[in-house]
Structure 1
Amino acid sequence: MLFTAGFFAAHATASGWVGLLARQHRAEASALYLFAYYAGSSALGACSGLAYAAGGWNASVAYVCVLLALGFAVAVLVARRARRTAR
């Protein structure tokens, strides 16, 4: 439940950032974000099944932890870029 709630909270935050960061072509930026969201959810969701098949719950937890670390890294990079753009 915690990971699912975090996933949707991150989606809502990222979706809001698209409109703030896109200076032009906001509709296209939003469409590209949604495409990446659904494509990534499908691909990464399928890979979670592979992780579970390969190593059970331990592999699934490790997989989710790696995804969380990657998501955090992307959020930090976007936040830094947003700060530089705001100046």
Structure 2
Amino acid sequence: MIVKCITVYLALINIGTFLLYGIDKRKAINEKWRISERTLLLVSLSGGSLGALTGMNVFHHKTRNLRFRILIPVFLLIHFALVGIYLMQS
């Protein structure tokens, strides 16, 4: 049951994060109110790192920002490690 809950959470947070990166890119192009970098990084850290990395590449968004280029892959490695550790202990 817990594996199913984690899987659903990770799917939803990654889809949501991907969409946030797309929305922010569109807002940047249209010079409208933006989603803060802090928010984008927090949802990425909260499990949405794969969605963030995908969004960065698909939308070409935040790809020149060094903080994002470093932190998002680090978050992704941490998330993979945590899932791996959990699965090994199950």
Shorter chain as denominator, the TM-score bin is 0.3 to 0.5
Between Structure 1 and Structure 2, which shows a larger proportion of helix residues?
1
* TM-score normalised by length of structure 2: 0.34
Structure showing greater Rg: 1
* Higher RCO (CA 8 Å, separation ≥ 6 residues): 2
* TM-score normalised by length of structure 1: 0.35
